[in-house]
A and B are shown apart, each in its own frame.
Chain A
Amino acid sequence: MLRELAPQVLGALVRRHGQFDACEDAVQEALLAAATQWPEKGVPDNPRSWLMTVANRRLVDQWRSESARRRREENAAALDLPVKGTPSAHDDTLTLLFLCCHPSLSVPSQLALTLRAVGGLTTAEIASAFLVPEATMAQRISRAKERIRASGARFDLPPEPERAERLRVVLHVLYLVFNEGYFTSSGAELQRADLTAEAIRLARLLQQLMPGEGEVVGLLALMLLTDARRAARSDPDGSIVPLAEQRRELWNRAQIQEGVALLDRVLGTVATGPYQLQAAIAAVHDEAASADETDWPQILALYEVLEGVSPGPIVTLNRAVAVAMVSGPRAGLALLGTLDADERMANNHRLEAVRGHLLERAGDTVAARESYLKAAKMTASLPEQRYLTLQAARLS
Chain B
Amino acid sequence: MKYMIMTFGSAEEALKHHSKEWFKDMIAFMHKLDADLKQSGELVYDEGLVDGSQAKTVRFQNGLPVPTDGPFAESKESLVGFWLVDVENEARAIEIASKIVAFVKAPIEVRRVADAPPEV
Contacts and interface: CB of A to CB of B under 8 A. Distances in A.
Interface stretch (B14-22, B38-46, B71-79): B38-46
B118 interface: yes
Interface residues of B, number: 22
B119 A139 contact: no
Nearest to B92: A106
Given A144-B41, A180-B117, A379-B118, 12 more contacts: A132-B44, A136-B42, A136-B86, A139-B38, A139-B40, A179-B117, A183-B117, A350-B119, A380-B1, A380-B114, A382-B114, A384-B118
A183 B120 CA distance: 9
Contacts of A178: 120
B116 A381 contact: yes
A380 B115 contact: yes
Q: Is the interface of B mostly helix, strand, loop or mixed?
A: loop
A108 B88 contact: yes
A131 interface: yes
Interface residues of A, number: 35
Interface in A127-183: 130-133, 135-144, 178-183
30 contacts: A106-B88, A107-B88, A108-B41, A130-B86, A131-B115, A132-B44, A133-B44, A133-B45, A136-B38, A136-B41, A136-B44, A136-B86, A137-B41, A139-B39, A140-B41, A178-B120, A179-B119, A180-B117, A182-B117, A192-B117, A226-B120, A350-B119, A379-B114, A379-B118, A380-B112, A380-B113, A380-B114, A380-B115, A384-B118, A385-B114
B111 to A, nearest CB: 10
Contacts, number: 70
B118 A240 contact: yes
A313 interface: no
